[in-house]
Amino acid sequence: MPNIDILQIVVFIAVLLLLVKPLGSYMARVFEGKPCGLDRVLGPLERLIYRLAGVKADGEMSWQRYAVALLSFSLAGFAALYLLMRLQKFLPGNPAGLDNVAPDLSFNTAVSFLTNTNWQAYAGETTMKYATQMLGLTVQNFLSAATGIAVAVALVRGFTRRTSQTIGNFWVDLTRTTLYVLLPLALVIAVILMSQGVVQTVGPYAHTTLVQATQDGDGKAVTEQTIALGPVASQEAIKELGTNGGGFFNTNSAHPFENPTPLSNFLEILAILLIPASLCYMFGKMVGDTRQGWAILTAMMVLFVALLAVCAWAEQQGTPQMAALGVDQKASVTQPGGNMEGKEVRFGIAGSVLFATATTGTSCGAVNSMHDSFTPLGGLVPMWLMQLGEVVFGGVGSGLYGMLIFAIVAVFIAGLMVGRTPEYLGKKIEIFEMKMASLVVLVPVLLVLIGTAVAVVTTAGQAGANNPGAHGFSEILYAYSSTANNNGSAFAGINCNTPFYNITTALVMLCGRFLFKIPVLAIAGALAARKLTPVSPGTLRTHGPLFVILLVSVVLVVGALSFIPALALGPIAEHLMMIGH
């Protein structure tokens, strides 16, 4: 890889790490109810919201009440979004005259945005009108992200509280996340994106005369082009910041109206990772030991950098088939080299693989290149990042609580090896926590493998794959890996806008989100009720290099044991076929 590309990646990681501490400290103050600066401006609005909603800000909830509040809020959001899509033809804000969304696609999309997956089986500019985008999809981008952060904060409270029967108030956590974290950051990012050329308008689509007339599929002359516009920057900001990923346009962040410049590309990748990384420092601040947060962040960063290097190497190598044709695939001052298929030339390989690794390491799913066009090993990396459980930074909130679950598993394994009751942050890890942790780890695995198995043995499932053999299998495996882990990206070669895929992927998304969250809240409740165990000479230090290595190993072993056989049938088999010809 050229030195300038390596420098780009190094600068990106450095900027990310510089922002972790200030944002993490700010979020800790927000969720501890301390003055954070913005409370002077937004405090009256926050209190007004509580009064209008009938919420007692100091009213605490058990984990069961917290879960019920979360589920009821999610159900209401699903109903509102579904009805909005089914009735959009009759509502204002429809300059393109778009029709109502089909029932199965409305169901799939409502579930997708509700669960922070943002899986899109449609083209936004030809399916969703402005009102649906702004009042439905963008609103859910904020609220689904806020619910994820709320669950993470509840789990952190489980570690900080002693003999408590409560873990906080869902409505307060939801409100404070939206008002003090997501809205201010989204506003700043949207303004910067607009300065780079990301469009923001509610005016009608533009029309222009073609320089050279052409013909459509029916042989009719085409002399005019319709250029889709819309309120893009406002949705783009929260799309990345909330690790949502749903694009206003069909080509997502590869579209020049969503991501026009290298600077906007850098900012969008930074927005994807900013909150998930900063939540680690927030965790350390709230538990009273920032070393714990740095240890979790280090484990995430080790996995991220290692897999990013593999993806960059694979794409920079290119393919032997192109080399056999005499194509020069070496990087030089006149060309980027490597495999540029499916990538934007304004981003190159470094900007593309950095985006691909960031968006699949988190549960974002936005794309600025087509993962379907990556080399087999290059495509394996984003697929495996999702299959690891979306814990390599992960989604906003879900990444932190997912990695903390793996930390609980790691200390349990360490305890078994030395014959000692496992402890994490002064709380003994007992059988109930391990049962819940097992659900968190195993449910996404089962959803991916069962969903893929059903799709590849049914006619309806096979019909969606547009490629035969190993690559077609990879497309299906990627689809269920993405939906089960609430990522939302796709291999793009698969046609998922069919009743079979709309229904099955929606069910997988629902299970992947809520069968993950509920056990996490149960663990939070169990830990909050437990006494603090004093540190002793036999206590495993969970802030040092040894624990980081143990945590990384547990994540890799679970991912390897669960998915290597499936990956062997898909990208690994395809790679062997590629180098064998």
Does the residue 13 lie in any domain?
yes
Calpha distance 182→395 (Å, rounded) = 14
Predicted pLDDT at 495? 86
126 lies in which domain range? 3-213+223-579
Q: Does some domain include residue 131?
A: yes
The verdict on residue 294 lying in a domain is: yes
% of the chain beyond a pLDDT of 90: 73
Contact 525, 158 (CB under 8 A): yes
In this prediction, residues 406-414 reach a mean pLDDT of 93
pLDDT of residue 467: 85
Q: Is residue 146 part of a domain?
A: yes
More confident residue, 461 or 217: 461
What confidence tens digit (pLDDT) does each residue in 70-85 have?
999 999 999 999 999 9
The structure tokens listed for 69 are 């509040």
- Residue 444 phi/psi, 5-degree rounding, is -60, -35
Q: So what's the pLDDT on residue 376?
A: 94
**If you average pLDDT over residues 77-106, what whole number do you get?**
89
Tens digit of each residue's pLDDT (9 = 90 or more) over 288-324: 999 999 999 999 999 999 999 999 999 999 888 877 7
In a domain, 218, yes or no: no
494 pairs with which residues across the strands? 465
Residue 163, in any domain of the structure: yes
**pLDDT of the residue at 173:** 96
Spell out the SS3 assignment of 458-499.
CHHHHHHECCCHHHHHHHHHHHHHHHHCCCCCCCCCECCCCH
Residue linked to tokens 């897999």: 307
**Neighbouring-strand partners of residue 215:** 221
- Report the alpha-carbon distance of residue 414 to residue 571 in Å, rounded: 33
581 band by pLDDT with thresholds 50, 70 and 90 = low
**Amino acid identity for residue 333 in this structure:** V
User: For residue 124, is it within any domain?
Assistant: yes
Asked if residue 14 is part of any domain, the answer here is yes
Report the domain count for the chain: 1
